[in-house]
Structure 1
Amino acid sequence: MSCNLKTVPGMMSLFPARYSVDRHTDMDRIFSIHSENGSIFTLKPLDRESTPWHNITVTATEINNSKQSSHIPVFIRILDINDHAPEFAMYYETFVCENAKPGQLIQTVSVMDKDDPPRGHKFFFEPVPEFPLNPNFTIVDNKDNTAGIMTRKDGYSRSKMSTYLLPILIFDNDYPIQSSTGTLTIRVCACDNQGNMQSCSAEALVLSAGLSTGALVAILLCVIILLVLVVLFAALKKQRKKEPLIISKDDVRDNIVTYNDEGGGEEDTQAFDIGTLRNPEAREDSKLRRDVMPETIFQIRRTVPLWENIDVQDFIHRRLKENDSDPSAPPYDSLATYAYEGNDSIADSLSSLESLTADCNQDYDYLSDWGPRFKKLADMYGGDDSDRD
């Protein structure tokens, strides 16, 4: 862009002055001025299309007397150069009928340019050099800054080609010449006998094949249901592959005990036998320990028959003595703890009622010294023995 520079009036005065730009009128700091001769020059590029005019204020101040100053408005007009290319004036939704005939007009296009040449706009339309001859459409320049799009063949098929792209070269007559390429999108549609468009969407092609919207929805639902069934079947199959911890009772594993119902407890384990403690008078035959299997089978030893009405403590001591003196009994890693309370003891009565039967006599004469409040109590316990009897 160019700027028309002019000399500020009065700058060649007899009194030398200093010039400056009032920044309140030039907030973007686009212009500057020479402080001595008043020449205005630009600091940033200018764009006529965005701001064709700029209004600034120049301040002139005398050098010898700074109190003497004046403010001069300056109007700057931006001159135009051809720096924008022409383009379509709007977005065109162009269609062609399937039953169109050759030479039929389907669209008229116009262009616009942001530049403002002195002689006015003049635009030209041509096919792009890469495709000078289009077999489907013809570009006709109307010589009035518009162009017409004409059909070139008889009939169009949506099944073969539903959309055509037509590039158009547009240029102006100003200097330097600016040009651009606009692409026109042309859809193939179904039309009636008068050339009125009926449908251009893909749904129309499906309907023409015999499938309705309800049929498409039903097919989509069936596909979704099949996918859900496949996912459920895969999940059930994966769950069935997980075997339980114990399949049957015959499965022998270390430290695993199977209970078919609640309860069980000591009757289901082979660790110990507590029958001896429950009935110490019962006769027992020597048995092998069932918690640890010994490597060698020792000779079964005979135990002395239990006495009748034997004390539990004596019974335990005898059993311990027999096991300690038996050389065939291995030292198994087990521990049996027995809680024995011992013989009972007779406890005396703690009742205070028996204190009346004590032989010792107590002296209650001190109650008369406690005052009138304890007089009745002193009469009851402080009298003679004959009175109390």
Structure 2
Amino acid sequence: MSGNCDILSPPPGFANQLDDHGCYLVNRCKRALAEISVKAVLSVVDLERKDVNLDLIKVEGKVGGKLEDTELIYGITVDKDMSHPQMPKQIEDAKIAILTCPFEPPKPKTKHKVEIDTVEKFQNLRQQEQKYFDDMVQKCKDVGATLVICQWGFEDEANHLLMHRNLPAVRWVGGVELELIAIATGGRIVPRFQELTPEKLGRAGLVREKSFGTTKDKMLYIEQCANSKAVTIFIRGGNKMMIEETKCSIHDALCVARNLIRNNSIVYGGGSAEISCSVAVETASDKYPGVEQYAIRAFADALDAVPMALAENSGLQPIETLSAVKSQQIKENNPHFGIDCNDVGTNDMRAQNVFETLIGKQQQILLATQVVKMILKIDDVIFPSDY
């Protein structure tokens, strides 16, 4: 029933897993998406703990292009562009300052009112604001930053000053994206300009702005990061529905790959595992005389529900198909026989490379058993009409 999978390369039947867990919209390029999912998991895997933090894999989608254009980016994509159109669109060997403080003068926390009745007072106020902006930009330049990514927006004057000082900047970047950028580039998130130091800058080999389609949508690519422990799966599709369905399929595939990292034991799919368990449970029921025997046989019948549903969904005669496969398993003593859903011509799931993770199968049976136990504990059901 079980076997082992090499976690350092995509398993031969992993594309079938993506198809089984996803929808048929992604069927035509399931192999490419399966490889992308495996590579993404292996990029962020912690082999010592045998676990994967899926939060480090950002799944982003953009309408336009073909599903085949989906790519794995060893870095982070941000759905933003440079804050000024005249800023450079590509930066090599970028040193990134990641800020959560705004490029603007500090504002009093209490209500205030400023009265300006002369030109001199207005000039003094303007010079004071100009000095704030100069100091902020100069602090970024002094530590060696070549790109500023800020969680907040810029004043127009600060934006103009950044452009003239040759310091590209990106504004209104979300908190989650800032964390991923910090992880990928090895930088630190800086809450105040006074705390900005060269050691807190993130490093990336290439930062570029990319345009998409006729609408000229723009995104920022942060690639060749110093610490590529964060990656992005960038999905393309003709409409929003296809992108959302592909996201669901890829998420399921990532979970399957993560389960293989945690435990690389597998069971073969197509209902073969359930049929084998059903035969084993039914055989073992003879050892328990009395009422318990009926409960054990009922559990064996329940296990047959999965292959029967597979046969019915494939347009086959469910009872006849299940009986034939079960008798074939018993006759040849081969637990790998299952439902031939794809009409390949063989019921051997090992030959078809159709498998499931052992962890996933254990959780399915365990959860179903727990639900039945909860239902059996209910003595009575009270309907509103009983009151």
Question: What TM-score, normalized to structure 2?
Answer: 0.17
Question: What TM-score, normalized to structure 1?
Answer: 0.17
Greater relative CO (CA pairs within 8 A, separation 6+): 2
Higher fraction of strand: 1
Larger Rg: 1
